[in-house]
Structure 1
Amino acid sequence: MLFVGCSTSDDVNIDPHASYNTTPEGLITFAQKELSDYMTTPSVNENNFRLTMQYWQETIYVNESNYDFTNRNVSNNVWTDTYVNTLKNLDQARRIINAYVPTFQETATWPGIKKNQLAMIDIMQVYTFQVLVDTYGDIPYTQALDIESYPLPKYDKAADVYASLISRLNTDINNLSAASDSFGNGDVFYKGDIGQWKKFGNSLLLKLGIALADVNPSLAQTSVNQAIAGGVMSSPDDDCIFKYLNSSPNENPVYQEVTSRNDFIAGKTLVDYMKNTADTRISVYYRGPIGGQYIGQVIGAPGAFASFSKPGAFTREPTTSGTLLSSTEVKFYLAEASARWGIGGAPATLYNNAVTSSFTDWGKASDAAAYLVAHPYDPSNWKKSIGEQAWVAMYNQAITSWNFYRRLDYPQLVAPVTAIPNAGGKVPVRLQYPPAEATTNGTNSSAASAAIGGDKLTTKIFWDIN
């Protein structure tokens, strides 16, 4: 469903396998699934962050646990997942909508529908571009989707991209109107519910603002305050999720991976932390207690499948939803905003709300109060309190967890001694640019590498200054 091709009238240049006549709704559904698939999958060819965040460990092939992401062309696949399968399809939907000429009967309602549809598309593009910046740093942005004019797009400064995304998002939120329709069932996330899209947009604005906390506190606080005033997610009913189906090829990609091969076992880091804190969520996160105990393997080391605990039963359900942004995640941002700037209430209360929300998500709501008595908010080291609890809570949102880890510097993860030399003895803080970019867009890719201080796993993203 990638709409790239020659502009010609010769039939020989038309791809017989491509759909040249399609609807925006079909493109939206496809783009949402592709985005959710990438954010959700544990495939070692695409998304290794459950390994990087030391939630899981591999059984036999441990290259990715040791940060060798080049062997499987991981970055090439991430680039395809985001730029091609998600952003380009969203852009094609935008083009179709802009080119559409309404019928006489549609003349009165079309402007409002069009405005809503374009705002929703742009919010999804903002989300995806933030993921790319947070993964690589400087990225193709202003020229990225106009391949006709810019087949070799330049890379934009990551900080400039962030500022643009915040501006775009504010416009999108203001353009959404409940007085008009949108995509209906073509929108798997919210079925066209404009109220929910506004909450999603404001929650994404909150996320963008929090990310800038250490590098641009003025823009960060302005964005956070605007988001809270506009209304952010407050319950699981608001979560931005993709609902998978009980049939191929539309099952949850985690289910597809864990039921096809016995490749993943529990990681020792999180298992030991949860055991030491008497965290009852461990029985949902993992299955297969051995001798009455949950056992995780040392990070970076292979381990027999039968000897260690396994990913939880929810990973073996094809209809488990994929989560792009959750109310629990939002509650942790609110706690952080309060701890940093006194925004939105007492930090201890907001911390308790966030932790309780996670326990509720996993069916352990009745255990939250006792857990918080044993592990209260520590105002003298709020980064540790929020960082460690967000790490545990984001167990099924590993890319999001990686952001908390890099921004707050907690938990204090240790790289395996067997990690590849390019990691410099550290847990990676970015992915390297795709080798395909060096081949096809070498001049711009090389300039970006120099601009960020080197295309390395240890080069920090612009907002990661501590």
Structure 2
Amino acid sequence: MKIVNKLKYIGLAMLTLFVSACEEGFDDINTDPNSPVEVPASTLLTNGIFNVGYTYWDRDLNFEFGELMVQHMAQNEYTEEQRYSFATSDFNFRWGNLYSGQNVAAPTGGLYDLSVARALVEENENLSDAQRANQLAVIDIYMSFGFQTITDLWGDVPYSQAFQPGEYPFPAYDAQADIYTGMISTVTNAVNSIDTSVDGFTSGDILFSGDMAAWEAFGNALLIRMGMRVGNSAAVAAGFGGTLPTSDIMLTFDANQDVANPFYQDKVISSRDDFRISAELVAAMNAQSDPRLAMYAMPAPGSTEIVGMPYGLGDGAAFTLKNSTSDIHTNIEDDPTAPAYLFSMAELEFFRAEAIVSGYITGNDATAFAAAIDHSVAQWGASSPGYGASIAYGSSNAEKLNAIALQKWIALYTNGVEAFAEWRRLDHPALTPSANMAPGVTGIPVRMLYPNTEDGTNGDNLAAVGTVDLGTPVGWDN
């Protein structure tokens, strides 16, 4: 994978903290005439794809928030996050990274670079209409992937007025329902505009190397994910009715430490050792003799067994158990090239099973359920033929949906962003909050807090959202 110089475009990434596009498909993006852009759209695409995917998989969103909230992992020291001790300032970095990619420890770029790339594509007179449509589809699909991450974590966010600093220096916050309507419309239009017989980006596409059929499949997968998240049966049916992925969609990393897998950067480069697999996840997997457990964590020191860290302990109690509990598997933490899974085949089949149970599509839900588990087993490199069919599924719809939710929770290990979203949406498994919660917190957080930087720069529009705290559900979680 080609990697751009991480400092070359920092000026672009710092231009704005605001992102978005019009609900109908990012058609009104404006560029600042006082900040001319000379970077090729393909280079901005590289930077944007990498940095949105990196941030999605990074410590701050992924394993220090999402993975902890769903109790896949537990902290063995510095346990503030698993005790839900958060301040608004803790989310400045998270918000800034997704909107502008301001992570100085990794390549900068984010969604803003994609918005600039989109404007350049629209203005490029050397492209045929079909090439332009394909390139715009690529950008629209990936920007929607990034926007879904943002709104799932914060709810109402700047969307229809963002990325237009000349016209909207203080962008309004859109309601999450409107954002989802806009994203589904955008991705639908993008998928329908793709011509797989024509080139898209001939360079810069580090996700699919210009394969427009793969982008079409990714778009349909996102329609399914978005539709299931908000109960839009038409979007789900449209996604399943189109071209679908035939393998996991992954963002690959590089052995270069600046662009290595975030787990590797955290454990090896930064010498952090703050996480263990949770006792809660280990117990659930042991209960079904799950072959993936040996790929999720290492045996505890001096043992052949995997021993989970009890979730939610305070600093002293957690540190006492640090050297007698199981670390995250070396294949996850010690490999700089281990990929980020943006959409897995297991997730697709779990959605299929649920969509059949919910009456959105037709098919055999039990077959899809077993296939989802088997895809996950294969994803993790475990060998257990027919394991999926051995897992209890149930007969009533309620039993089936709980079985899907439990198995998806297990399968989404290391993907904290999606695990956190699906746990909130499906309300299963039942997780017990930390017994050492910070004062004023009443349960497991169900959202991120708005950053205090936003209060300082766009305070009036933020105030219009109303008062929220860690226990305030986002729109689709109500």
TM-score, normalised to structure 2, is 0.86
Cα gap change, 1:123/1:319 in structure 2, threshold over 3 Å: closer, same or farther? Answer: same
1:225 partner letter: A
* CA distance in 1 between partners of 2:394 and 2:50 (Å): 37
User: Residue 432 of structure 1: which of 449, 463, 477 is its match?
Assistant: 449
Calculate the aligned-residue CA RMSD, in Å.
Answer: 2.1
Give a deviation string over 1:235-277, Cα, whole Å, max 9, x none: 32xx321111111211101111122222211211111111222
- What does 1:350-365 align with in structure 2 at a 5 Å threshold? 350-365=368-383
Residue 21 (structure 2) aligns with: none
2:220 partner letter: N
User: Residue 231 of structure 1: which of 239, 243, 247 is its match?
Assistant: 243
* CA distance in 2 between partners of 1:96 and 1:342 (Å): 39
User: Residue 76 of structure 1: which of 81, 92, 95 is its match?
Assistant: 92
Shift of 1:342: 5.8
* CA distance in 2 between partners of 1:372 and 1:313 (Å): 29
Contact 1:38 1:46 in 2 (8 A): no
Residue 261 (structure 1) aligns with: 272
Give a deviation string over 1:302-336, Cα, whole Å, max 9, x none: 23432110001222100001111122111111111
Q: Once structures 1 and 2 are overlaid, which stretch shifts more, 309-318 or 298-307? A: 298-307
Give a deviation string over 1:270-300, Cα, whole Å, max 9, x none: 1111122211111000012353321111112
Identity of counterpart residues, as a percentage? 28
Residue 172 (structure 1) aligns with: 190
* CA distance in 2 between partners of 1:45 and 1:224 (Å): 26
Residue 106 (structure 1) aligns with: none
Where structure 1 has 5 or more consecutive residues not aligned to the other structure, the ranges are 103-108, 214-219
Contact 1:46 1:77 in 2 (8 A): no
Aligned length: 435
Residue 105 (structure 1) aligns with: none
* CA distance in 2 between partners of 1:7 and 1:376 (Å): 55
Contact 1:27 1:93 in 2 (8 A): yes
* CA distance in 1 between partners of 2:468 and 2:449 (Å): 6
- What does 1:353-432 align with in structure 2 at a 5 Å threshold? 353-367=371-385, 369-370=386-387, 372-379=389-396, 380-424=398-442, 426-432=443-449
Give a deviation string over 1:384-407, Cα, whole Å, max 9, x none: 101100000000211111111111
Give a deviation string over 1:167-199, Cα, whole Å, max 9, x none: 111110011111221123411111110000110
Residue 5 (structure 2) aligns with: none
2:367 partner letter: T
Q: Does 1:297 align with 2:314?
A: no
- What does 1:17-36 align with in structure 2 at a 5 Å threshold? 20-36=37-53
Contact 2:356 2:364 in 1 (8 A): yes
Cα gap change, 1:44/1:231 in structure 2, threshold over 3 Å: closer, same or farther? Answer: closer
Shift of 1:344: 3.1
Give a deviation string over 1:395-424, Cα, whole Å, max 9, x none: 021111111111111111111011223431
Q: Does 1:321 align with 2:339?
A: yes
Residue 297 (structure 2) aligns with: 286
User: Residue 119 of structure 2: which of 95, 101, 106 is its match?
Assistant: 95
Shift of 1:383: 2.2
* CA distance in 1 between partners of 2:228 and 2:62 (Å): 30
- What does 1:145-224 align with in structure 2 at a 5 Å threshold? 145-213=163-231, 220-224=232-236
Residue 66 (structure 1) aligns with: 83
Residue 122 (structure 1) aligns with: 140
Higher-helix-fraction structure? 1
Contact 1:209 1:223 in 2 (8 A): yes
* CA distance in 2 between partners of 1:121 and 1:256 (Å): 28
